[in-house]
A and B are shown apart, each in its own frame.
Chain A
Amino acid sequence: MKRREKNAVPRQKLSFAKVMRRDYPLWLFLLPGLIITFIFSYIPLYGVQIAFRDYMPTLGFSGSPWVGLKYFKQFFDSPYFFTTLRNTLIISVYSLIAGFPIPILLALALNAFKHKHYTKVIQTVTYAPNFISVVVMCGMLTLFLSPSSGVVNKIIELFGGEAVNFMAQKEYWRHIYVWSGIWQTMGWNSIIYFAALANVSPDLHEAAIMDGATKLQVIRHIDLPCIMPTAIVLLILSCGSILSVGFEKVFLLQNPLNKSVSEVISTYVYQVGMINANPSYSSAIGLFNSAINAVMLIFVNKIARKGAGISLY
């Protein structure tokens, strides 16, 4: 009550009944979303407790027998713990280090480039792969990298090399995963930086050029600092999801030959929960994953706040 009155100070104070009479349509507008979110987001949150229980479908979320940390211990003791954790970390750190600077560089380059029509063409083309579905993307990869008919191997053979069965050799798997992702998203991810660069005052550029700065110096000393805050916020957000390597693409690129490098936590959660039908164990692994992500987000945010004075919250 008090808070509402404080917020409403500039206008006339309304009684609760009056406010309700005015606002009840808004509550009706909100109702469908609130119900759906409650059922499909909050009830599963309540259901996370099955990670601490032996889930039995007939007994429900809260009726199943309590087993405490049994499934967490089982996961920490299993050989999969180390493998999946390592694979997840390597893939996501690799994606982050390789994928984070590229959109920034692309945006800086496009912004410095003077031919506006050509810029437009490059933007149109580089955004396009973002709309390709992950299934098609992986289909393209298997086609292009096929040892018998793939275009990549034809090029290798053209230069006198030997055809490589990329999908069967695990040492290529991470590179394929990460660089195809960069190919697909670099244009799209550059939009936000491009927009930030559009807000840089032209006065700064003119002043720098008057003082004899080269174009490279303008980028280094004006453009780059201007998009730094945006970059840091996005960096914090990506660190927060460091352990949530997307299931969809890894799952599609996985085969028995590369599983030792491609089994990540999310695919293992699927394997245990949906294929091996062990819901409690699967939930425990998933919960462990989310907990690490939350800790990472808080930790990186703290560093960013200390180091650069930027914080998400």
Chain B
Amino acid sequence: MARILNRNKQKESVQDKIFDVTLFILLTIILIIVAYPLYFVIIASVSDPSAVAGGHVTLFPVGLNFSGYAEVFKNDKVMRGFVNAIFYTFMGTCINLLVTIPTAYAMSRKDFAGKKFVMYFYMVTMFISGGLIPTYLVVKSMGMLDTMWALVVPGALSVYNMIVARTFFESSLPEELFEAARVDGCDHFKFFFKIALPLSKAIIAIMVLYYGIGHWNNYFSALIYMKTETKFPLQLVLRSILVQNEAALSQQVTSQAAQAALQAQRELVELMKYSLIIVSSVPVMILYPFVQKHFVKGVMIGSVKG
């Protein structure tokens, strides 16, 4: 009896070992598939232009070279787009917070009489929307076309983010806390500013990240609403260079240019694109270690109550 049990155990552990090894190999393959393109952009951005174009860059940078970055920083459009994007992201995120956090706080109060009505009011907008053109026409009639306001005001409140924040408040600011404060003569204003906000640094961080990255990465609103090129945010500039393949070099190619020079120019354009990807991702990359922890937390809070 004992022997049978023992043999069984051994057979299983062999199976489990095979399972463990397979799992390890599988996960490693996934890791490589995800990581390699990211890694490749980094090493290509600091390699020699002709090595990148010739496909000689595989595992390590070839002939350390920063001319791609030099081109990026010499490009007026990119630099202006970068400054614009920082400004829009900052303003947009501030407006988002000013609208979202108070709304979420109010919605988290258990005995607030209008709660149900307001929730329906917001839920409706999650499932049906007027669509592209009617929204565009409303923005236009508000005189917001081609201004920053078109990018930051219409989406000032994301219902999903508001629900995440509300769920956070519900669990971190129990009704008893408010009741206790109220006995001491505290109204909602005082409670919100003196007690709720100081206790909510975590959720404010999550909101800043959710909204901030949304603004930074958004190109659609700018595509629809912005007309003047000098007001374009970075993503729209990136679109013309990376996707539409617009000539992006600081000096123009002249028709008399020798074939070799032309080739070098083309290679430099390719190299510049890799550098551009890195430069445009720097703000997010700096935040990433910090972002990861909080983003994940946000997904968890959101999934508790959808």
Chain B residues with Cβ under 8 A from A191's Cβ? 296, 299-300
Find out whether the CB atom of B135 lies under 8 angstroms from the CB atom of A122.
Answer: no
1/0 per residue, CB under 8 A from B, across A258-277: the answer is 00000000100110011000
Chain B residues with Cβ under 8 A from A290's Cβ? 128-129, 131
Find out whether the CB atom of A32 lies under 8 angstroms from the CB atom of B98.
Answer: yes
Contact of A44 among B37, B129, B270 (CB under 8 A): B129
Find out whether the CB atom of B19 lies under 8 angstroms from the CB atom of A216.
Answer: yes
- Known A-B contacts A195-B300, A248-B220; A131 and B213 likewise in contact (beta carbons under 8 Å): yes
SS of B interface (majority): helix
Minimum CB–CB distance for B40 against chain A, Å: 6
Chain B residues with Cβ under 8 A from A131's Cβ? 213, 217, 281, 284, 288, 291
Interface centre among A33, A248, A290 (most CB of B within 10 A): A33
Please report which residues of chain B, range 206-263, place their CB below 8 angstroms from some CB of chain A when the two chains form the complex: 213, 216-220, 224, 235-236, 238-239, 241-243, 245
- Interface check A67, CB cutoff 8 A: no
Find out whether the CB atom of A25 lies under 8 angstroms from the CB atom of B188.
Answer: yes
- Known A-B contacts A45-B129, A195-B299; A126 and B34 likewise in contact (beta carbons under 8 Å): yes
Chain A residues with Cβ under 8 A from B105's Cβ? 26, 29
Chain A residues with Cβ under 8 A from B218's Cβ? 133
- Interface check B69, CB cutoff 8 A: no
Find out whether the CB atom of A273 lies under 8 angstroms from the CB atom of B219.
Answer: no
Find out whether the CB atom of A183 lies under 8 angstroms from the CB atom of B34.
Answer: yes
B residues contacting the other copy or chain, number (CB 8 A)? 100
Minimum CB–CB distance for B114 against chain A, Å: 7
A residues contacting the other copy or chain, number (CB 8 A)? 94
Minimum CB–CB distance for A39 against chain B, Å: 7
Find out whether the CB atom of A113 lies under 8 angstroms from the CB atom of B103.
Answer: no
A36 to B296, CA, bound (A): 29
Number of A-B contacts (CB under 8 A): 260
- Interface check B61, CB cutoff 8 A: no
Q: Which residue of A lies closest to B224 (CB)?
A: A274
Find out whether the CB atom of B277 lies under 8 angstroms from the CB atom of A192.
Answer: no
Contact of B216 among A133, A148, A247 (CB under 8 A): A133
Q: Which residue of A lies closest to B26 (CB)?
A: A109
A165 to B118, CA, bound (A): 53
Find out whether the CB atom of B34 lies under 8 angstroms from the CB atom of A187.
Answer: yes
Find out whether the CB atom of A33 lies under 8 angstroms from the CB atom of B103.
Answer: yes
Find out whether the CB atom of B118 lies under 8 angstroms from the CB atom of A50.
Answer: no
Minimum CB–CB distance for A23 against chain B, Å: 6
- Interface check B183, CB cutoff 8 A: no
Q: Which residue of B lies closest to A214 (CB)?
A: B15
A191 to B297, CA, bound (A): 10
Contact of B37 among A47, A144, A153 (CB under 8 A): A144
- Known A-B contacts A11-B111, A133-B219, A214-B19; A40 and B27 likewise in contact (beta carbons under 8 Å): no
Q: Which residue of B lies closest to A230 (CB)?
A: B303
Q: Which residue of B lies closest to A121 (CB)?
A: B31
Contact of A36 among B114, B131, B157 (CB under 8 A): B157
Interface residues of B (CB under 8 A from A): 8-9, 12, 15-16, 19-20, 23-24, 26-27, 30-31, 33-35, 37-38, 40-41, 52-55, 57, 98-100, 102-103, 105-107, 109, 111-114, 116, 118, 121-122, 125, 127-139, 142, 153-157, 162, 187-189, 192, 213, 216-220, 224, 235-236, 238-239, 241-243, 245, 267, 270, 273-274, 276-277, 280-281, 284, 288, 291-292, 295-296, 299-300, 303, 306
* Interface contacts beyond A7-B111, A214-B16, A269-B131: sample of 14 additional A-B pairs, CB < 8 Å, sorted by A: A25-B187, A29-B188, A45-B134, A46-B130, A48-B130, A109-B23, A113-B23, A121-B31, A133-B280, A183-B33, A212-B9, A215-B15, A283-B131, A289-B131
Interface residues of A (CB under 8 A from B): 3-4, 7-8, 11, 19, 22-23, 25-27, 29-30, 32-34, 36-37, 39-48, 50, 61, 106, 109-110, 112-115, 118, 121-122, 124-129, 131-136, 138-140, 142-144, 146, 148-149, 151, 153-154, 157-158, 183, 187, 191-192, 195, 212, 214-216, 230, 233, 247-248, 252, 266, 269-270, 273-274, 279, 282-283, 286-287, 289-290, 294, 297
User: Top 7 nearest A-B pairs by Cβ distance?
Assistant: A44-B130, A139-B242, A154-B55, A47-B134, A133-B217, A286-B131, A29-B102
